[in-house]
Structure 1
């Protein structure tokens, strides 16, 4: 599709008051630029008090210090989260991130606990198909498949010795599924890191192949190379099950998932 261009016949506005607000912030918001805001007199909510107590207890137990709590984990979270979350929400987000970063818990344990709470509160999503797509019978796409051989590759690699630093050492877990089994992809919380696409969550497919045992992505991302290795599977989905109004009956999509992301379909 060609790029869409729009003629511009007006200048960009950079009001002096806005510029001044960004270079001389009125408020202490973790060193971030911020325009003047109205002070809101508001009592703390119960969850905010619980967050404060939780963060204090983590400090008393030596899990993090004031610098980590107030800057690294509450401020250095990216502007999207920083401006999108209220003050105490940034703190509890930072507390969870700290527990994972320092290996007090694994990301999988955290995701599992959040999923358990969501289940108990009855707020887990229950997807039955997705938003209508814009695919029609006239759409065609030419796909060029690479050979995996880059002409610009020098062919030289770093010699890490007999054992690379990322070589997993954890116990290999047995496979729970076999080819032909019907499975459902879990809809676990996608906090901090996930490789599982949203459009397959809570969707049912068929095991097409067993590939290999390896670390799950969430453990590998945090260098937990001693974590258990799980069996990976190729799961085949009917595309008409994934996207509403998909026009072709026989088209399928295959994707790979570790054991912990799958459950037996009823």
Structure 2
């Protein structure tokens, strides 16, 4: 779907807030939200493309307002929506728990389960093990240097093709081989690997006279988004 991730080249959102020496988590609850969504991924309840789709469903205004407070509010919103969507909890249960939290009933609650530090270390090591994202799939149709046109499309579901590159011409800068296709993955249709490329666009191609002719924007795009722009 078209959403807040399509704001490249737009203004009016205020300055980008930069915090020097920013901590990993500003508040304890942010770490808990990360743990919850990670657990949901490990259990197969969610995965990255699916959780991104549910974050997008917040709506642009909510997305912008929440990011000024904490990025992890997006993750919390996605986790809540996913748990209801997968019928693990009902919407009534979600609202009831929210009322309890707002009333301060869980303010001093301690975790009900402790974990072996060695188990935590093993999980962290596993997360940092290098692994390839390339999967068996179709051979790439384009090579480095090929000119491509991004299709002018308006998908109703999740997509990783930003609106601001659609109907624009770029050049293949790198080919990454077949990788999980977000449109299929987010809809629960499996990995459905498609060739992935890094495509280079001039800033003027994307934004006309507002773009700096010295700037190049690199966007990772899957092959179904593209068509040949050869002369």
Instruction: Say whether the fold is shared (TM-score over 0.5).
Output: no
TM-score tier, shorter chain, comes to 0.3 to 0.5
Structure whose residues are more often helix by fraction: 2
Larger Rg: 1
